[in-house]
Structure 1
Amino acid sequence: MAAYLPLELITEILTKLPVKSLHRFKCVSKSWNSIITSSKFIKQHLHQTLISNTNTNIMISTNYIVSSAISTVKFRFEIVNHPLDHLPNRSPGTITGSVHGVFLLIDSSTKTLCLFNPSNKTQRLIPPSPSRKPAVVFKLVEVFGFGYDGITDDYKVVRLAEWEIFGYFDRESSVYSMRNDSWESVNDETVSYTLQEFNGVAVDSTFWFVMSSSNSDSMLKCFDLRTSTFSLVDFPDLDNDIGEVMVSLRSLRGCLCLLVSYHKYRADPDNKFTGNPFYNHEFLYADVWEMNESKWVKLFKIRKNEIRKDCMYLRLVTYSKDMKSVLIEVDSNWYGWYDLVTKKFKRVPVQGLEAVEDSPYVAYPYVETLVSVVNNKVVSKKGGTRPKMIIKKNDFLSSGFKLKL
C-alpha cells in the first residue's frame, strides 16, 4: 500500500534541502515542480537557508569565476560558467558581495553590469545608468553596491560617481530597481568627501562606502535603501601614530565589520620589489570592529606572529558555522581559519585555483538559493542585448533535435 505524505510536510522537508537536490526533484512530478518553482517556496527556502547558515560557499572572480564550498579541511574550487563570456574584449571583471546568493558582476572594459545567481544560473543584464558626466573627464571614480530592500521586496543597485574636469569636481548618485528594471537619480546632500575606489558593502537595507577628505580623514558614507537618503558615519578611533592604515569592509553576521590593518614602511634598498604595492608596507597587526546599534565595538585583534611572519595584508571572508573561527584571506592569495579562542591560525589547502594563482583575488561568501534574477534579455556575441527568444512547441518540433542514448 502506498503511503502519502501531506503536501505541507513535503514542502517543509524540501525547504531544508540544498539547491542542487531541488533542481533534480523538480522532475519527480508536476506537483513537486510547481512547489519548488513557486515564489512562496523560494522565499521559504531562502529563509531556512539564512537561519540555518547552511549551503555556504565562496566565489572568486579574476579571468574566471570559481566557486567552492566553505570547508575547514580543503577548498575545492570549480569553474563557474561566466554569464558575460560572450562579450568581446571582456575584462577579468569584479564582483560585489552576494545578497541572497545573487552577485553583481561588473565588466570594466565594456561597462556592463549583470546580476547573476550561480546556484540556478539565472542572470539579468542591467541597462546603463543615465549620466550627466561629460564625455571627457580628467579623473573618474565609479563604485557600486548591490543589496535588498525588504520593505518593497526589491533588489537594488546603487551607483556613486565622481569626476574632475578643468579643476572642478562633480558627482552623481542613482539607484537601479530590479522590480522596475530602471534607474532613478537620488539626491546626496552630505558634505563633500572624496569617493574611494572600493565597491559598497550591503548590510540589511543599507550600503556603506569608504570616503576621505583633503586632510586624509576617512569616513563612511551610508545609503539607506528604504528612505533613499545618505548620511556620514565616523570611523572608530584608530591608532594613527602607528604608521599607515588600511581598511577593509565586510558584512558578517548581518553586521558591518571593519578590519583596520596597521603597517610600517619597509625600505627596499636594492629595488627588488619595485612595482609591488604590498612589499614596502610591513603588516603589524589588525583590529576588527563591528557596527552594533550605531556604535563601533572592537571584537578582536589579529597580530602578525599569529598569522605568518611575512604576511602583508589581511581581509575577512566569513565566520565559521559555530562562530568560533573566522576565515581570513591573506595577501589576496591564500586562506586560513583564525580561532578566536586560541588565537591560532590554520592554513587551508586549496585545489582548483591553478588558472588564476598568478593574480591576486578577492573571495566573497554566498549561500545557495533559488532566487531568480532572469529577465527577457540575453548577451549577444556582439556585446549588445537582444530579446530572449521564446520557442513555441510547434517551432521546436519542426526544427528537429538530437537524441543521445
Structure 2
Amino acid sequence: MSDYLPDECLTEVLVRVPVKSLMRFRCVAKTWHSLISSPAFIATHLNHARHKASHGERSKLQDQIILFRHYSACEYADEDDHGYRTWITSDEEECFALHKDDESFPHSPTLNLKPPHNMWSGQYFPIVGLMNGIVCLVDWSRCIFWNPSLNTTMETSFRTGAGTFFRPVMHIFGLGCDPITNDLKLVRLAYLKKNVVPPVVEIFTLVTKSWREVAAPGPMYILVQSKSSPQAFVSGAFHWVAHTPPGQGSSSNVIVAFDMENEVFYEIALPSCLSSKPHLNMTVVLLNGSLVLVPDNEVYGDSYYSNSVWIMKEYGVVESWTKLFDIDIGEQGVRRVITFRNNGELLLNSDGKELLSYEPYTRETRDLHFKVRPSDGTSYETGSYFVDTHMESLVLLNEAHRPRLVGRIS
C-alpha cells in the first residue's frame, strides 16, 4: 500500500505513531526503514512531539509521563486494602522509572529502566537535563547521552581536565537546543582554579559529535548548579544562578544565560532584594515556560537560605520579577525544590530526606511516603532525586542498541 502513497503523505501519518511502533514499522519495507531512519524524519517526528507537548494536546495532564531517578536504599510505604501500612526497604541501587504524574507517583511506575552506565565507587551520575527525549548524565571525565525510548546511548569524553591526574576544581553544564538547527548542544564551563574566572568554555554538538572551545569570553562569575534539577532552558538559552567570586568586593548575584544559537553569554538581573544576598541558596527552574527562582539548600553548606519562590513573568524584563509565595512546611526544613508538578504542587525534599508534595496556596503538605535511608558515610542520597517530563523521540536512533528495559509493570 505504501507504494501508492507519496512520501509526504506517508510522513504525515508516521510522525503521529509512537516510537515503539515505528521500530516495528521499519521492517515493513526497505522504503519505510529508510524513511523512518532518515535525519529529516527524525527531526519532523521530534517537532511534532514537541508541538503536542507545548500546545497541551493531551486529553488529561495526568496522562503526562515523567522520568524519576533516585539512588541508594529507599523506604516506601505499602498499604493493603484495610489501610495497614508496611514500610519496605529497597536494595541500594540507582533506579530509573517512568511514571504517570498523578496520585500513584512515586509508588507505581509504568516502566522500570536500568541505568545507561556502570556504577563506579558507589557514585551516581549527576543529570544535566532531559531534552528532546534525551537524558544527559555527566561525571568528571565523560558525558552520556541516553534515549530511554530507544535504549541507545552515546558517550563522549571531555577535552579540558579529563585526565586522571588533572581536572578542574569545578565544572558546570547546560543542555540546550539550537532553535535554528534543532541540534542538541551541551555547554561545559571548567573552572581550573578555585574561584578564578573566567572559566574555560567548551561546547559539544550532537550532530558533529565533537567538542570545541567557545570563542566568546566566559562569564566573570561563579556559576552554581543544583545537583539534579530539571534544566532551565527557555528562549533559546540555558540559565544558571551566579555570584561574584569571593574577595572581589561586595556580593552580587545574577542569572547568567548562554545563547545556544549565537553561543554567547549574557546576564539577567535578579530581584533587587536578592541581588546582594550573601550565600543565596537558590537555583533557577522553569514553570510554564517562565524562569522561577526556588530554594536549594544543597548548593552551599551555609545555614542561610531563602524559602521564597519568584517568577519572571516577562522574559528579560527585570521589573516583571514577582514573588509567588513562601514555602512553609512547619518545623521541617526545605532541603531542595525538585520540580513543579502538573497539578501546580511543588515536589520537595525535606531535611529529613522525605519526598513531599506541597500545595503553595493552601500550604498543605502531602507526605509521599518515600524517603532515602541514610547510607554509611555517604551524603549524595537526596541530590540523586531527578524528576522531569519525558517525551518519546527518535534522536540517537542510529546509535548502537543497548537493551536497558527491566520490564513493564502490570
Task: Work out whether the TM-score is over 0.5.
Answer: yes
- Which residue of structure 2 aligns with residue 42 of structure 1? 42
Q: CA deviation at 1:116?
A: 0.8
- Which residue of structure 2 aligns with residue 403 of structure 1? none
C-alpha separation in 2, matches of 1:170 and 1:177: 22
C-alpha separation in 2, matches of 1:192 and 1:278: 19
Q: CA deviation at 1:174?
A: 0.9
Change (3 A) 1:168 1:97: closer
Q: Is the 8 A contact 1:221 1:233 kept in 2?
A: yes
Residues 2-401 of structure 1: matches in 2 within 5 Å? 12=12, 14-26=14-26, 33=33, 36-53=36-53, 55-62=64-71, 63-75=93-105, 76-77=108-109, 78-85=111-118, 89=121, 91-108=123-140, 111-130=141-160, 140-164=169-193, 171-189=199-217, 192-198=220-226, 201-213=232-244, 214=246, 215-238=250-273, 245-260=280-295, 281=303, 285-290=307-312, 292-296=314-318, 297-298=320-321, 301-305=324-328, 307=329, 309-320=331-342, 325-331=344-350, 333-336=354-357, 338=359, 344-348=364-368, 359-360=381-382, 361-373=384-396
TM-score, with length taken from structure 1 = 0.70
Is the partner of 2:186 in helix, strand or coil? Answer: strand
Q: CA deviation at 1:142?
A: 0.8
Is the partner of 2:129 in helix, strand or coil? Answer: coil
Change (3 A) 1:333 1:100: farther
User: Given residue 206 of structure 1, which amino acid in structure 2 is its aligned partner?
Assistant: A
C-alpha separation in 2, matches of 1:335 and 1:46: 33
C-alpha separation in 2, matches of 1:191 and 1:358: 28
C-alpha separation in 1, matches of 2:4 and 2:303: 63
Q: Is the 8 A contact 1:142 1:162 kept in 2?
A: yes
Change (3 A) 1:24 1:64: farther
Q: In terms of Rg, which structure is larger?
A: 1
Q: Is the 8 A contact 2:294 2:310 kept in 1?
A: yes
Q: Is the 8 A contact 1:281 1:312 kept in 2?
A: no
Q: CA deviation at 1:295?
A: 1.7
Q: Is the 8 A contact 1:251 1:257 kept in 2?
A: yes
**Identity of matched residues, %:** 19
C-alpha separation in 2, matches of 1:255 and 1:151: 21
Change (3 A) 1:283 1:189: closer
Change (3 A) 1:339 1:375: same
User: Given residue 310 of structure 1, which amino acid in structure 2 is its aligned partner?
Assistant: Q
Deviations 1:29-50 (A, max 9, x none): 6665555444444333323332
C-alpha separation in 2, matches of 1:283 and 1:127: 35
C-alpha separation in 1, matches of 2:326 and 2:44: 42
Deviations 1:222-261 (A, max 9, x none): 2112112112222222368999742122134333322247
Q: CA deviation at 1:140?
A: 0.8
Change (3 A) 1:292 1:134: farther
Q: Is the 8 A contact 1:278 1:312 kept in 2?
A: no
Q: How many residues align?
A: 353
The Cα RMSD (Å) is 4.3
Q: Is the 8 A contact 2:309 2:327 kept in 1?
A: no
Is the partner of 1:310 in helix, strand or coil? Answer: coil
Change (3 A) 1:234 1:25: same
